[in-house]
Structure 1
Amino acid sequence: MVRLSRNRGEDTRRIMFVHALTVMNAIIIPMADGTEWFRGWMTVDSDGRISGLGEGDAPASQTGETVDAHGSFVAPGFVSAHSHIFTSGMRGMTPGENLYGWVGTQSSFISAADEDDIYWFTLHGCLDFITNGITSAYNFTDSRVVGRYDPATDRREIFSIRSERYLQRQVDAARDSGLRTVNSIRLDSEFQPADQAFGVFADAVAYVQSEVPPALNLGTSVFGAVQWSEAAGAARDEVRAMDTHGIGNQAHFLETSEALDQQREKFGWYEDAGALREGFLFGHFVHPDAYMAKKAASSGSGMVWQPTSNGRLGSGIADIVRYRGLGMPIGVGLDDQSCTDISDPFQNMRIGMYTQRALHQDASIIMPRDMMRLHTLGSAEALGVADRIGSLEVGKFADFVVVNPSNPDTGPVWDVYASYAFACGLRNLERVYIGGRLASESGRAVHPAADRVSDELHGRVRDAAAKTGLRLAW
């Protein structure tokens, strides 16, 4: 068990303000390129950034908190580069449906949620991420437009449009949780006057800028939705939003084998609109043809891989080896709690490695260190925030996990990266730190609302389900 101590004689109030931290006796796994793991220490300054790393014993003179890791692994917090965090109350929903059936039921349920509901759904999801070692996330906020997509007609039926506050409360929840977040916003220009849609989008970008502290704000992004759009103008509108605000775009695209020809046709919409560029990401990108893959890579576009979600929904296996060979930036995401069910980055890594090895019939095609990099530094690079997060380096935010391979015991360590990625899991995750501050211990968030958030989620999910005629088992 990791033990926490304070230097004798220190003023506790001063320590709480400064938040200086020293981690000692650790197996440090920096994940920075050109570095390897080492036995040593790490210090964190009062701004929550890493101030020092070194082998052996920690410097003799220290202030603030000291964490003795007792030989545990200390590694970067996981980065989920594709997430829908508001879905935390929908685990186990539609257990036998592929993408379109699953998202249809989810859309019916969420249509009954109001501004307060979506706050608590999102806060619960954020704390769930944090307790599982995810310290940064790209979050697709739920759209103001309430509707349901029909793949047979390639149209979206619109029921209503919520207030802007519905979007803002999701931003509030992520901020209040302490999770570092890219807030992704859907434009929905097809369903309301263009000036209004762009105005709402601009308001949301401004809200994030004004209401989220800089340390937690990893930026804003366009929630790419052309996969569900009826006309090519949707792609042009997304590009207009990208250019106006100087931001990127992550587009759900070619995720499922359902209506595949219809999806592939829309690749040309993005291409013709000028969307393909550095900072444009394809979320999923499971089923591109050879031209699409090469065009995306040559344009500087990247992709984000969701191995657990793609398996759960029967979507297919993205050929990550192929994309790496083309030079595409690649991130990894946990996607929805409702289609990964457990937001488990260790499971996500294993499923990713195992499926790629099976697909290529080569057990060395993705090694543990490769997979760890994809879920940390690689995801940060894909999102354009690797200067702040994704690895343990001096000057970056001190977002890290403490993973104890001896509790429960996973046996002797033959290879540090293999032991971490293959043998360890949430059961071994003892502590999570964000900016040098303890955020979770032994699977429980230290957030002041941790107890209340569960009650709020359960009650509000039941109420929303009742309004839409959906039934919970209990």
Structure 2
Amino acid sequence: MRSRRRELSLHQATVKEAKLVQLVVQNAAVIVTDWSSAPILNGWIAISDGKVSEIGTGASPNAPETIDADGCLVYPGAVAAHHHLFQGTSRGVSSPGGLLGWLGTQYRAWARLTPADVESAALASLSLLALGGCTTVASFEYIHPVGSDFVTPVVSAAEKIGLRLLYVRGCAPRLEGELADQLESVGVDLTRLREPEDVALARTREVLSRPQSDRLRWACGPTTPIIDDGGSFQRELNKIADEFEVGIHTHFHPLPGQLADGESAFDFASRLGLIRHGNWFAHGSRLSTNDVAALGDAGVGVVHCPSCSLQLGYDIPPLADWAAANDRLAVSVDGAASNDRGSMLLESQLAWQAQRARFGGAPNLLSANQALGLTTAGGARAINWPELGGLAVGRPADLAIVDFGSIDYAGIPLSERAKPAELLMKVYAGAPVRDLIVGERIVLRQGKFVSIDLSAVITAANGTAEALHGR
């Protein structure tokens, strides 16, 4: 009798759990739960309360809502560990060569930004990310004119579309090189670009004090390390970050003249107060593998942005060596001004291709699975959101669906679908993902946004771009 009661109890529990399933993605040709694991063929994923409740093959459980993924690849949503959503209306702008020439052109336009412009740009950037399979973005927003609220428009845009957002409340007490003098000489209002240090610290504290959720988190950081004050500003910023238990993010590629004799880039970062568990650096174009390893030991992540690096002429780093040295290594898009594509799938593909071009004879060449893993689990670890970037029971149901039945994948033997990483790296040509799910929200369904009018986003972005950059 006890055995029979136990069997009945277990059966009832199973039935009860099945009733909790709210959405099932079924009939998937291939499911990738993690790019380091073998794919699952002919499977399904059950979702309850925005989390994966079960993954299996064969007959799927009943659910009030289903998505038929017949002939499709299902994989974890990408985590963009570095972006600037406010730049979404500064794409494809011609500028003089080099970083400073490019920045000068952009800053002249950004000094005229309004909150409405920022939301228009953010919606355009987020739309591109979603279409490229991204479900979470860490956006480094470092322009905050005194008297203007540039935080709310970005948060609002992410809420409208449905992506998770790590908002990095950046600040710019200094501008790079001699840019301040150059911009001032042509009449640019620098108060629209720079914040006094005390103001930046106070406004950063106010943002970090706002509530967080499973869809919105905060971080902070200077757009570029402050090197002329002995690290005093960074130490004050560290105190605020410690108080609110958030990470610090910054661009990091020190110039040779900024390093003391015999000083490594890691030692330079340490001298400036930037070495702190949970921080992460963008670009790291002048880091050595030893620097990357030391950063990893200190719990500091590094984000490589392939399009930006190639466009600005940075060296191509040995990503396989870096990945072995630091498990917080990520590959990401950059802001639209220096990466005119905005697709995480394209970035992973470009990273893979560039590694083969630069290190083709290396014994530990970056694999296709590694390249995609750096945009998912790698990105999640870099931004301190480790439960993202993979599909497993109890983890957020953030996933993308690619249709293998489209023209983009025509002419490919069926057997090759069982190797989805290599397939994407070799043939992906920029086609949007078919569906995108972020927790409890369906963002894209059959190629169409569920909660926004994409044509209106395009019209608004084009109008803002013309107003800012039109000749």
Task: Give the TM-score normalised by structure 2.
Answer: 0.82
The answer on 1:139 being equivalent to 2:152 is no
Alpha-carbon distance in structure 2 between the residues aligned to 1:168 and 1:70: 39
Q: Which residue of 1 aligns with 2:169?
A: 185
Q: What is the Cα deviation at residue 428 of structure 1?
A: 6.1
Q: Which residue of 2 aligns with 1:43?
A: 46
The one-letter amino acid paired with 1:173 is: A
Q: What is the Cα deviation at residue 99 of structure 1?
A: 2.1
Residues 118-197 of structure 1 correspond to what in structure 2 (within 5 A)?
118-144=118-144, 161-188=145-172, 194-197=197-200
Secondary structure of the 2:209 match is helix
Q: Which residue of 2 aligns with 1:78?
A: 78
The partner residue of 1:55 within 42, 54, 57 is 57
Contact preservation (8 Å) 2:138, 2:166: yes
Contact preservation (8 Å) 2:319, 2:366: no
Alpha-carbon distance in structure 2 between the residues aligned to 1:67 and 1:43: 10
Cα deviation per residue 1:27-65 (whole Å; 9 max; x = unaligned)?
Answer: 1111175554332111111x2211110122213xx1211
Q: Which residue of 1 aligns with 2:103?
A: 103
**Residue 194 to residue 351, structure 1, CA distance change in 2 (3 Å):** closer
Q: What is the Cα deviation at residue 249 of structure 1?
A: 1.2
Alpha-carbon distance in structure 1 between the residues aligned to 2:81 and 2:457: 24
Cα deviation per residue 1:324-348 (whole Å; 9 max; x = unaligned)?
Answer: 2323521121111222211122221
Alpha-carbon distance in structure 1 between the residues aligned to 2:86 and 2:171: 18
Alpha-carbon distance in structure 2 between the residues aligned to 1:261 and 1:382: 28
**Residue 226 to residue 269, structure 1, CA distance change in 2 (3 Å):** farther
Task: Give the TM-score normalised by structure 1.
Answer: 0.81
Alpha-carbon distance in structure 1 between the residues aligned to 2:436 and 2:429: 13
Aligned Cα root-mean-square deviation (Å): 2.6
Alpha-carbon distance in structure 2 between the residues aligned to 1:319 and 1:371: 12
Contact preservation (8 Å) 2:142, 2:222: no
Contact preservation (8 Å) 1:284, 1:318: no
Q: What is the Cα deviation at residue 110 of structure 1?
A: 1.0
Q: Which residue of 2 aligns with 1:320?
A: 319
Q: What is the Cα deviation at residue 385 of structure 1?
A: 0.9
The one-letter amino acid paired with 1:308 is: S
Identity of aligned residues (%): 23
Q: What is the Cα deviation at residue 119 of structure 1?
A: 1.6
Structure 2: unaligned runs, 5 residues or longer:
1-19, 175-193
Contact preservation (8 Å) 1:85, 1:126: yes
**Residue 189 to residue 464, structure 1, CA distance change in 2 (3 Å):** closer
Q: Which residue of 2 aligns with 1:250?
A: 249
Alpha-carbon distance in structure 1 between the residues aligned to 2:50 and 2:327: 32
The one-letter amino acid paired with 1:20 is: Q
Aligned length: 422
Contact preservation (8 Å) 1:123, 1:173: yes
Structure 1: unaligned runs, 5 residues or longer:
1-17, 145-160
Q: What is the Cα deviation at residue 443 of structure 1?
A: 4.6
Alpha-carbon distance in structure 1 between the residues aligned to 2:83 and 2:195: 26
Residues 50-449 of structure 1 correspond to what in structure 2 (within 5 A)?
50-59=52-61, 62-94=62-94, 97-144=97-144, 161-188=145-172, 194-207=197-210, 209=211, 214-217=213-216, 219-227=217-225, 230-232=228-230, 233-254=232-253, 259-262=255-258, 268=267, 270-289=269-288, 292-362=291-361, 365-387=365-387, 389-408=388-407, 409-412=410-413, 413-414=415-416, 415-427=419-431, 429-441=433-445, 443-449=447-453
Q: Which residue of 2 aligns with 1:5?
A: none
Secondary structure of the 1:339 match is coil
Alpha-carbon distance in structure 1 between the residues aligned to 2:131 and 2:328: 27
Q: What is the Cα deviation at residue 360 of structure 1?
A: 2.0
The answer on 1:25 being equivalent to 2:63 is no
The one-letter amino acid paired with 1:252 is: H
Q: What is the Cα deviation at residue 425 of structure 1?
A: 4.2
Alpha-carbon distance in structure 2 between the residues aligned to 1:188 and 1:48: 37
Alpha-carbon distance in structure 2 between the residues aligned to 1:405 and 1:310: 31
Secondary structure of the 2:375 match is helix
The partner residue of 1:457 within 433, 454, 461 is 461
Q: Which has the larger radius of gyration?
A: 2
Secondary structure of the 2:221 match is strand
Alpha-carbon distance in structure 1 between the residues aligned to 2:345 and 2:466: 30
Cα deviation per residue 1:158-208 (whole Å; 9 max; x = unaligned)?
Answer: xxx33251233222222332110110012445665554332211111234x
Contact preservation (8 Å) 1:410, 1:424: no
